Chain A
Amino acid sequence: TQLLEQSPQFLSIQEGENLTVYCNSSSVFSSLQWYRQEPGEGPVLLVTVVTGGEVKKLKRLTFQFGDARKDSSLHITAAQPGDTGLYLCAGASSDYKLSFGAGTTVTVRA
């Protein structure tokens, strides 16, 4: 069972549209990370959020950490085909073991 619940499980949108992926848990994490994974490859770190309420922006990607440090969201503006991939959130406990969600498969159609 996954400690972190991600939704939706699958998301297919047209190029230029916006999308939001959610990551929720009943546990509090010291930090939360977002990764993108492409088929046959390992996850690539996108961002780490540490402070409750924190918002980080990386170009067209906006990451938010909930005030209680239990949930997070990833918003992509004007999605491009290159954004296609499996998006994973991972919560770090006090000993920095990572607990991953099951992931959201995003497909951006040209």
Chain B
Amino acid sequence: DAGVTQSPTHLIKTRGQHVTLRCSPISGHKSVSWYQQVLGQGPQFIFQYYEKEERGRGNFPDRFSARQFPNYSSELNVNALLLGDSALYLCASSLGPQETQYFGPGTRLLVL
């Protein structure tokens, strides 16, 4: 069975640009969560979506937004990129918002 997939795997952007990251959950999973992992730290929670609705938001600025589609895939958008946005962005899917989360391989974003 396919696990969580994310695209692209790597991305290089410059300050001020915007970026869209994509996530496809495990088949049958209806909840998707996004995390940011800066080098040397553990993942930090950004958003959780369930049945296309936002169920939780972490302590991130409004430059970060996300949405979930009818097929339960999800996009994370970041506007006006800053150097500090350079990180590994992880997507995790689960059957429901209170179920075990399974992580994808992540998208590594570098902002120059």
Contacts and interface: CB of A to CB of B under 8 A. Distances in A.
Interface of B: 4, 33, 35, 40-45, 48, 55-56, 58, 90, 92, 97-106, 108
A96 B98 contact: yes
Interface stretch (A12-20, A35-43, A54-62): A35-43
A102 B90 contact: no
A107 B53 CA distance: 41
A43 B43 contact: yes
Contacts of B4: 42
Given A44-B103, A98-B33, A102-B40, 15 more contacts: A2-B42, A33-B100, A41-B106, A42-B4, A42-B103, A43-B43, A45-B101, A45-B103, A90-B43, A96-B99, A97-B56, A97-B58, A98-B43, A98-B45, A101-B42
User: Which secondary structure characterizes the binding site on chain A?
Assistant: strand
Contacts of A43: 43, 90, 103
A76 interface: no
A4 B43 CA distance: 12
